[in-house]
Amino acid sequence: MVATTGTTNTTAFDPIDAIADVTEPQGIWLHVDAAMAGTAMVAPECRALWHGIERADSLVFNPHKWMGVGFDLSAYYCRDPQHLIRVMGTNPAVLRTSRDGEVSNFRDWHIQLGRRFRALKLWFHLLDQGVAGIRERLRRDLANARWLAGEIDAVPGWEIVAPVALQTVCVRHVPPGLDEAAVSAHNLAIARRINDGGRAYLTPTVLDGRQILRISIGAERTEREHVAALWAALRDAAAAV
C-alpha cells in the first residue's frame, strides 16, 4: 500500500498512522511517497504531518526538490533491505571482492548494477548549508505561503481551494456571473499570461473537477518581494483577461 505525504496537486497528507493500523495486521508492505514534502521533516514543527512514519516499511523523498540539491537525487529508506536484496541481488564471480559482507553494496538494492555517486552532492549541500540553514529556508517558504494565502483570502473573487499545509497555495479567480466552464477558461488564461510574462511560472491543474492555479513556493532565491510581485501580477492578469 502506498501512502502519500504531500500530494503533487495540493500537498495533501494521508493519515499514515491509521493506514498502518490496517497494513500491519495483514502483513502488507506500507510505502510512503514524500517526494517533495519529505524535506519539511527537517523542521521539527512540521513533523506532526508525518505522524506514524516510523511504522512504514519504506519511504522516499527527493532532496532535488525543496531541499535544493541538484537534480537528480531521490533518498530511499527501507526498514529491511533484505527484501530488496533477495529480489535484485546478484553475485557472479566477476563482482566478488575481498570486502563482501563488510559493507553495504547498494547495487543489490535496486535494478541498475552501476550508478552515479548521487549522495556526494547531498553531502556537500549539508556541509554548505547545515541543518540550521535548510530549516531557515524552509521556514521562509512556509511563511511566504501563509502570507500569500492571507492576502488572497482578503480579496473578493479569489478563492483558496485547498488547505495550505506547507508551501503550495492552490487558488482560483471566480468573477461573478460566470459558469464553471467560463471560470476554467478564465483561470487558464491567467496562467498563460503569467507564464508568458516570464517572471514566474504557475502550474494550472484540476482539483475536484475545477480548474485551479497551483503556486509552489520553494526556489532557493524566492523571497517575500517575489511572492508579492506574483500576487500583484495575478490580480493584473485577472483584470486583463
C-alpha–C-alpha distance, residues 123 and 37, integer Å: 20
Domains of the chain with CATH codes: 2-123 (3.40.640.10), 131-240 (3.90.1150.170)
Helices (H), the chain: 16-26, 82-88, 119-153, 180-197, 224-240
Q: pLDDT (tens digit, 0 to 9) for every residue of the chain, 241 residues total?
A: 999 999 999 999 999 999 999 999 999 999 999 999 999 999 999 999 999 999 999 999 999 999 999 898 999 999 998 888 888 888 788 888 888 878 888 888 888 887 888 899 999 999 999 999 999 999 999 999 999 999 999 999 999 999 999 999 999 999 999 999 999 999 999 999 999 999 999 999 999 999 999 999 999 999 999 999 999 999 999 999 8
Buried b (16+ CB within 10 A) or exposed e, 46-69: beebbebbebbbbbebbbbbbbbb
Task: Give Cα 240 to chain centroid, integer Å.
Answer: 32
Beta-carbon neighbour count of residue 210 at 10 Å?
Answer: 16
Is pTM beyond 0.85? Reply is: yes
User: Are 95 and 116 contacting, i.e. CB atoms less than 8 angstroms apart?
Assistant: no
